[in-house]
């Protein structure tokens, strides 16, 4: 059983900050080639400035992946740089607050478009490329690619302010299962990592000066701490590697046990 992803080529979306950036850097440190994709080009360039692109293992791609042409361009840029793609990590995600009784609130369709449909369309494009690669290489055994979606424990927790985020996360989980079954005959594995509170830059900003919120999250997490982004990255590496070669359609939860206890009013980030 090997956890190695050395020499593999991965696309990581939402890679300019937070968990997506942590996953991309983690993959680079493990010997993979990575295309860091995000809408924010300036932040993206700054985030991966430690990895020179010339003849290196990192590339950046900026664009709005809600647009089909951008997805096609991302795939072309990846093939131009590394000639193939073996791993896709759909880490592009957004959190919006909802007003459940406001008929003009568009947070649900907005997050379904951002958190579900973007991941689905990128998955479809990358899966087609993985299938074509296998045919070109006459690969007849083993799996030919791994796709990992980043979800949230909000899919299983209820908080009115997070209506849209919860709905989009639950939809992403079901998309993961459905695409796993659809792509299994093509030997492409599709899984997800659902995580709880992770000490990303955004959560640090949210918790600054809010000691009560920090304490509430920790008190409602059986392991009694907040995870680091690298702990999510480790789980993603497992699902991307040969170590999980017989795992597909699974939602791996990385939350310190938080979903095992009674829900509270603490938001799931």
**pTM beyond cutoff 0.85:** yes
Residue 265 has pLDDT above 50, yes or no: no
What's the CA gap between 261 and 61, in Å, rounded?
40
Is residue 4 one of the residues assigned to a domain? no
- 166-191 pLDDT tens trace: 999 999 999 999 999 999 999 999 99
Evaluated on CA atoms 153, 155, 156, 157, the torsion sign reads positive
Is residue 269 one of the residues assigned to a domain? no
Q: Among residues 122, 150, 139, 130, which one has the least CA distance to residue 21? A: 150
- 7-34 pLDDT tens trace: 999 999 999 988 999 999 999 999 999 9
Going by the DSSP 8-state scheme, the letter that residue 114 receives in this structure is I
Is residue 2 one of the residues assigned to a domain? no
Pairing verdict, β 33-38 and 58-62 = parallel
Q: Provide the domain limits for residue 18.
A: 9-260
Q: How many helices (H) and strands (E) would you count in the chain?
A: 9, 7
Q: How many CB atoms neighbour CB 126 within 10 A?
A: 23
Going by the DSSP 8-state scheme, the letter that residue 131 receives in this structure is H
- 187-232 pLDDT tens trace: 999 999 999 878 766 666 666 777 777 888 888 888 988 888 899 9
Tokens 């030919």, located at residue:
144
Is residue 129 one of the residues assigned to a domain? yes
Of the chain, the percentage scoring pLDDT greater than 70 comes to: 92
Number of domains present in the structure of the chain: 1
The confidence score (pLDDT) of residue 266 equals 45
Is residue 266 one of the residues assigned to a domain? no
CATH number of the domain enclosing 232: 3.40.50.720
CA distances from 247 to 33, 85, 143 (A): 23, 20, 11
- 236-248 pLDDT tens trace: 999 999 999 999 9
Tokens 């907040």, located at residue:
226
Residue 95 has pLDDT above 90, yes or no: no
Average confidence score pLDDT of the chain:
91
Which has more pLDDT, 149 or 52?
A: 149
What's the CA gap between 106 and 151, in Å, rounded?
21
Residue 132 has pLDDT above 50, yes or no: yes
The confidence score (pLDDT) of residue 140 equals 79
């Amino acid at each position: 059983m090997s956890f190695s992803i050395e020499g593999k080529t991965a696309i990581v979306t939402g890679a300019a900050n937070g968990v997506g950036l942590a996953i991309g850097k983690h993959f680079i440190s493990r010997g993979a080639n990575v295309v860091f994709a995000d809408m924010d080009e300036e932040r993206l360039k700054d985030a991966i400035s430690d990895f020179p692109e010339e003849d290196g293992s990192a590339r950046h791609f900026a664009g709005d992946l809600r647009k089909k042409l951008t997805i096609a361009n991302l795939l072309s840029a990846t093939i131009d740089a590394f000639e193939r793609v073996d791993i896709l990590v759909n880490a592009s995600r957004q959190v919006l607050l909802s007003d459940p009784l406001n008929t003009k609130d568009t947070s649900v369709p907005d997050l379904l478009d951002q958190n579900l449909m973007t991941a689905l369309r990128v998955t479809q494009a990358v899966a087609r490329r993985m299938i074509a690669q296998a045919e070109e290489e006459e690969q007849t055994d083993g799996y030919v690619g791994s796709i990992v979606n980043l979800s949230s424990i909000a899919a299983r927790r209820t908080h009115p302010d997070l209506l849209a985020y919860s709905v989009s996360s639950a939809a992403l989980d079901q998309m993961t299962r459905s695409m796993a079954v659809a792509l299994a005959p093509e030997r492409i594995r599709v899984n997800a990592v659902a995580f709880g509170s992770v000490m990303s830059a955004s959560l640090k900003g949210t918790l600054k000066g809010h000691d009560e919120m920090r304490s509430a999250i920790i008190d409602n997490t059986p392991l009694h701490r907040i995870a680091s982004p690298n702990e999510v990255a480790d789980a993603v590496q497992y699902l991307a590697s040969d170590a999980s070669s017989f795992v597909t359609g699974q939602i791996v939860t990385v939350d310190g046990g938080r979903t095992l206890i009674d829900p509270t009013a603490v938001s799931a980030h």
